[in-house]
């Protein structure tokens, strides 16, 4: 198979590609003021990312059975993969309700102002919360290997420190084009948060991100992400890693968590889901992801995702 043409601006490193393609296709923000002792519950929203920016006071973020995470003024926290969590004024604070069901004042279609806690008690915590979805399957790949909580201290990240007040100002004082500006600022905040996590916690990387950083497995992982529709074989991927098939398969499975060919199939399905969500024809998606027929693709897609390609297209419409 001939080597594909790589345009100068294309990113072949899957991490660089994911960061380059961070573009939100939907976002909702809430300026929240809290008083007293209480917490707001964020329910599970699959394939989304939540973020919390503390403007004043101290917040406590709780995810599953993990210890509460303290967030002081100027902190930014990401919760990837739509994981359910709680944000409150104290560790273990009683839940006051779900964020999407509590009373709030809408300012535009994608921004609200909410006050929780006793009205006769001074505000002790102010924060900007958001929930966003992304256009690219490459971004979903990246979010899939992040830890349940990523915390950034704005004081240590000048870019973050500069962006936080800009985003808050755009949302609190709506102007023409404000949604577009806020969305782009939030895009950059997510990229900066991921870069901060990679710089400060490199040993926590897992999955394909850990394999990408491996000097031998990295080229094979990058090749899969760059050409998911190619007819990959175990032997060809092992050659890219300059390892024997046995050693390559064992090391890949240990780092990524699944065998190489299973990873190829799952990568194809993530790409396919993104294309279907954009309304692409099933036949075009099948061809782009390496399937010889629409029927073969549909069977594989249903087996690996639990739904038909047509249903994915209809849900995104």
**Structural domains of the chain, ranges and CATH numbers in brackets:** 25-202 (2.60.120.280), 207-316 (1.10.10.60)
Tell which residue, 106, 132, 101, has the closest CA to residue 31.
106
- Asked if residue 129 has pLDDT above 70, the reply is yes
d(CA 44, CA 135): 19
Phi, psi of 165 (to 5 degrees): -65, -30
- Asked if residue 9 has pLDDT above 60, the reply is no
d(CA 178, CA 181): 5
- Asked if residue 48 has pLDDT above 70, the reply is yes
- Asked if residue 296 has pLDDT above 90, the reply is yes
d(CA 169, CA 76): 16
Query: Do strands 75-79 and 49-56 pair parallel, antiparallel, or not at all (unpaired)?
Result: antiparallel
Let me know if 109 is exposed, middle or buried by CB neighbors in 10 A (0-12, 13-18, 19+): exposed
- Asked if residue 270 has pLDDT above 80, the reply is yes
- Asked if residue 28 has pLDDT above 90, the reply is no
Tell which residue, 265, 282, 266, 268, has the closest CA to residue 316.
282
Return the ∠ at Cα 62 (arms to 78 and 208), rounded to 5°.
45
Strand order in the sheet with 95-98: 69-72, 58-62, 85-88, 39-42, 95-98
- Residue-level pLDDT at 81: 86
Dihedral sign, CA of 90, 95, 100, 103? negative
- Residue-level pLDDT at 65: 82
């Amino acid at each position: 198979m001939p080597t594909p043409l790589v345009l100068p601006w294309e990113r072949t490193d899957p991490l660089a590609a994911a960061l380059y393609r961070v573009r939100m296709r939907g976002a909702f923000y809430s300026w929240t003021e809290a008083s007293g002792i209480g917490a707001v519950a964020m329910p599970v929203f699959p394939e989304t990312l939540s973020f919390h920016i503390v403007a004043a006071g101290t917040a406590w973020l709780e995810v599953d059975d993990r210890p509460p995470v303290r967030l002081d003024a100027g902190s930014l926290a990401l919760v990837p993969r739509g994981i359910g969590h709680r944000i409150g004024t104290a560790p273990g604070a009683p839940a006051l309700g779900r964020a999407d069901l509590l009373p709030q004042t809408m300012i535009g279609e994608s921004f609200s102002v909410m006050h929780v806690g006793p009205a006769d008690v001074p505000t002790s915590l102010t924060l900007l919360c958001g929930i966003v979805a992304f256009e690219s399957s490459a971004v979903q790949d990246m979010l899939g290997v992040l830890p349940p909580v990523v915390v950034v201290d704005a004081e240590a990240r000048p870019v973050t420190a500069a962006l936080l007040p800009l985003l808050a100002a755009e949302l609190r004082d709506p102007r023409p084009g404000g949604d577009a500006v806020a969305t782009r600022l939030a895009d950059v905040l997510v990229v900066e948060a991921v870069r901060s996590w990679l710089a400060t916690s490199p040993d926590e990387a897992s999955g394909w991100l850990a394999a990408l950083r491996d000097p031998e497995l990295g080229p094979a992982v990058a090749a899969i992400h760059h050409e998911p529709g190619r007819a990959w074989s175990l032997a060809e991927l092992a050659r890219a890693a300059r390892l024997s098939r046995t050693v390559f398969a064992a090391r890949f499975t240990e780092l990524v968590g699944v065998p190489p060919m299973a990873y190829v199939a799952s990568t194809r399905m993530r790409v396919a889901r993104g294309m279907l969500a954009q309304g692409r024809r099933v036949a075009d998606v099948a061809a782009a992801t390496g399937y010889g027929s629409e029927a073969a693709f549909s069977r594989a897609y249903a087996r690996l995702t639990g739904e038909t390609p047509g249903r994915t297209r209809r849900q995104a419409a």
